[in-house]
Amino acid sequence: MSSIRACGITDPGLARLHNEDAFRIDGGHGIYVVADGMGGHSHGEVASQIAVDTICSRLTGSPEEQHAGRDNEPLRPQSRRFKDAIECAHEAMLEAIREDLSLQGMGTTVAGILVRDGVVTVAHVGDSRVYRLRGTDLDLLTRDHTWVNEQVLAGFLSEDQARSHPLRNVVTRALGGEADVTVDVQEREVQVGDLYLICSDGLTAMLTDDEIRKLLVHEDSLEQTCKQLVSAANERGGIDNITVVLARIEDRPAS
Ligand code: CA
């Protein structure tokens, strides 16, 4: 039996008036999610809040409330449920826009992990990310749904060019956008000692993966490490809202 220690921080950064990011940690239900909202006025805040609220309520409600799955992917029940919760968040956003047309154009990314029954389910839409530190190795588990990343994967841009590209903020998938949304879902085994980082692009636009890795490797307090990540991004300019959630799988009975 393992338990999970977790901590999260969201910070407006140094250039934005609003903080349109949101996060939620629900250790009792194994939920760790980050959402990065977008839209005019303060609508990004509405979008990211709808996302984390809907996802958490779907994952903590009774399972029979699930809506019909859209596909037959070979996923475990908890992973299907996580995917379903994110699809519901998308539908909740479309519904909110139908009821209040001034919200049109709002959307949000979402990235998170659900830890249940020895499995870590990783899910995301957009450019918020999930990393896993195992030992001293940091792996990016998600693939940004952005135009620049598509160009990198196709070999048209280098990673360095993508980082400074004027279109680097253009996401190709988001909740609240097109009628349908495709959620990327993967399953990983729970391994004691693993440290998961879920973050918005306000962190990863400012710091390289290796800089993030160095801060995570020296973690001895999750709270301090969260603060160090945010401070490091702000020291680089903090051009966007910064959200980090850290979750450490520990070797002791769950309380
Ligand atoms: Ca952002």
pTM, to two decimals: 0.94
37 CB-contact burial (10 Å; exposed 0-12 / middle 13-18 / buried 19+): buried
Mean pLDDT score, 165-173: 92
Band of residue 148 on the pLDDT scale cut at 50, 70, 90:
very high
- DSSP-assigned letter for residue 18: S
Q: How many angstroms is it from 200 CA to the middle of ligand 1?
A: 6
Q: How many angstroms is it from 122 CA to the middle of ligand 1?
A: 20
Give the pLDDT confidence score for residue 67 in this predicted structure: 56
Give the pLDDT confidence score for residue 185 in this predicted structure: 98
Mean pLDDT score, 17-23: 95
Q: How many angstroms is it from 36 CA to the middle of ligand 1?
A: 5
Note the pLDDT tens digit of each residue in 170-201.
999 999 987 789 999 999 999 999 999 999 99
Residue 92, amino acid:
A
Give the pLDDT confidence score for residue 15 in this predicted structure: 94
Band of residue 212 on the pLDDT scale cut at 50, 70, 90:
very high
Separation CA 48–CA 227 (nearest Å): 22
Q: How many angstroms is it from 253 CA to the middle of ligand 1?
A: 36
SS3 at position 239: coil
